[in-house]
Amino acid sequence: MFRDHHRQALEAQWWPTERVREYQLSRLHGILTLAYGKAAFYRRVFDSVGFRPAVMNSFDPIQSIPTIDRQTVAENLTAMCTRSITEIGVDFASTGGVSGAPLHFYLDASRSSVEYAYLTASWERAGYRLGMPMVTLRGRVVRADRRGMCHEYDPILRHHYYSSFHMSDDNMARYLEHIGTLGPCFLHVYPSTVTALARFLVRSERKAPTNIQGIIAESEIVYPEQRKMVEDVFGRRLFSCYGQSEKVVMAAGCEKSDDYHVWPTYGYFELLDENGYPVTTPGERGELVGTGFINTVMPFIRYRTGDWATYVGDHCEACGREHIVIRDIRGHRTQEVLIADDGSEIPWTALNMHDDTFLHVRQFQFMQEVPGKAVVRIMPADAFNEKDVRRIARNLGQKLKGRLVLTVKRVDTIAVSPRGKAIYVDQQIPSASWSEHRNRK
Ligand SMILES: [Zn+2]
């Protein structure tokens, strides 16, 4: 299973456009026929719009099928399944719910090896080869070893796991020292955990271990500022992949640019604008919508991921691949913005200062309950003092120009998602009420 999919992924990424389209049309035909024949939900929906998978011979008719989202899945859980959920080979899964309730669904038990085939094929673009030691800092609960360091080792995969929930300066110093003894290895991280390591290296004036061959960052948005800082500090490229538990779209960085290539054999991908039309103009943004080929237990057909990206083109100038190129993938906006007094939105990245503002800060997070006011929670590093508080207030104040009053608050811990992912904006204002606020003004 793994080998076949791995080989296919490696080959298919270089297929010419015509071959990709032929393959996708045949796989789409298969999944749509299965859904229509076996899943009550899809039969009802396809019938309601007059869509017949049997007579589909181009991509166009697909656009008559309504898109679905998390809520559709939550409301039609078993009606979307093509077989009994009690059968062997059916797994139950859930996604982390940073911005709302977790989503539950079903999928094929075999998808893990398929998923891993695509992941390793992606990582190989960064120079990784199966069997190389991998340093993992990604929200796993890791127990302390006999030296008291939160580190576990899997000798079969050659993965070293460190606890991203224990990132004090002392622990990071120990992690980095240990990583330095592993020989040529790769980092597999959340963008936020590798940023924390990079910030620690800067403020403690240490050098990054030179045996780290590359950095693979996944599962969170990669902000351009983070990428630059991490690449500067480690002297290695930060390579990123994009995917989701629902397994409809997977994209991996290009080896020659910071853009993403969508894997053409993983699912059928569409980039749709606010009105549901395909984005075809380079530079315009659209929502990532996918029809997964991997999950046959509960097909996700035209599933809106809630993530958005910029359309670059259908051909990569840098590497020559002939399929869709996207960049700047962003998630749900409630985790991205603060609301000014006039109801306008301020992306938190506009406040992510690259000077010495956060020099003695281990981690920070914005929290907002009412428009026009916010708290910046600061988890101090050792050298932090009152001067830092004044500098943060002054520098952020200059950027905000009175649109938002910010209070600096020192805290001992900053909450992360249940899977250890960073939450940069703890936005307590419901999105409906902030648009109301804006309309009133
Ligand atoms: Zn490329």
What is the distance in A from the centroid of ligand 1 to the CA of 315? 8
Q: Which residues contact 241 (CB under 8 A, 6 or more apart)?
A: 119, 122, 123, 216, 218, 250, 251, 252, 253
Residue 219 buriedness (CB in 10 A; 0-12 / 13-18 / 19+): buried
What is the distance in A from the centroid of ligand 1 to the CA of 82? 36
What is the distance in A from the centroid of ligand 1 to the CA of 273? 24
What is the distance in A from the centroid of ligand 1 to the CA of 172? 34
Question: Is the pLDDT score of 97 beyond 60?
Answer: no
What is the distance in A from the centroid of ligand 1 to the CA of 99? 32
What is the distance in A from the centroid of ligand 1 to the CA of 323? 9
> For residues 218 and 46, which has the higher predicted lDDT (pLDDT)?
46
Matching residue, tokens 């996708």: 24
pLDDT of residue 349: 75
- DSSP symbols for 158-186: TEEEE-TT---HHHHHHHHHHHTTS-SEE
| Pick from 128, 153, 155, 129: nearest CA to 142 | 153
**Are the CB atoms for 206 and 184 separated by under 8 Å?**
no
pLDDT digits (tens, 9 = 90+) for 187-206: 999 998 999 899 999 999 99
Distance between start and end Cα atoms, the chain: 58
What is the distance in A from the centroid of ligand 1 to the CA of 255? 6
User: How does the average pLDDT of the chain come out, rounded?
Assistant: 90
What is the distance in A from the centroid of ligand 1 to the CA of 159? 28
What is the distance in A from the centroid of ligand 1 to the CA of 390? 45
pLDDT of residue 212: 97
Question: Is the pLDDT score of 92 beyond 90?
Answer: no
What is the distance in A from the centroid of ligand 1 to the CA of 357? 36
| Pick from 180, 187, 242: nearest CA to 214 | 187
pLDDT digits (tens, 9 = 90+) for 362-388: 888 999 999 999 999 999 988 899 999
Confidence of residue 216 (pLDDT cuts 50, 70, 90): very high
Instruction: Over range 54-60, report the average pLDDT.
Output: 93
**Are the CB atoms for 390 and 401 separated by under 8 Å?**
no
pLDDT digits (tens, 9 = 90+) for 274-327: 999 999 999 999 999 999 999 999 999 999 998 999 999 999 999 999 989 999
What is the distance in A from the centroid of ligand 1 to the CA of 216? 17
What is the distance in A from the centroid of ligand 1 to the CA of 328? 15
Confidence of residue 437 (pLDDT cuts 50, 70, 90): low
pTM of the model: 0.83
**Are the CB atoms for 148 and 171 separated by under 8 Å?**
no
Question: Is the pLDDT score of 266 beyond 90?
Answer: yes
What is the distance in A from the centroid of ligand 1 to the CA of 248? 21
What is the distance in A from the centroid of ligand 1 to the CA of 294? 24
What is the distance in A from the centroid of ligand 1 to the CA of 9? 15
What is the distance in A from the centroid of ligand 1 to the CA of 132? 24
What is the distance in A from the centroid of ligand 1 to the CA of 239? 13
pLDDT of residue 224: 85
What is the distance in A from the centroid of ligand 1 to the CA of 338? 34
What is the distance in A from the centroid of ligand 1 to the CA of 320? 6
Q: Which residues pair with 232 in a beta bridge?
A: none
What is the distance in A from the centroid of ligand 1 to the CA of 209? 29
How far, in Å, CA of 141 to CA of 165, rounded? 8
What is the distance in A from the centroid of ligand 1 to the CA of 256? 6
What is the distance in A from the centroid of ligand 1 to the CA of 45? 37
What is the distance in A from the centroid of ligand 1 to the CA of 257? 6
What is the distance in A from the centroid of ligand 1 to the CA of 142? 36
Instruction: Over range 58-77, report the average pLDDT.
Output: 94
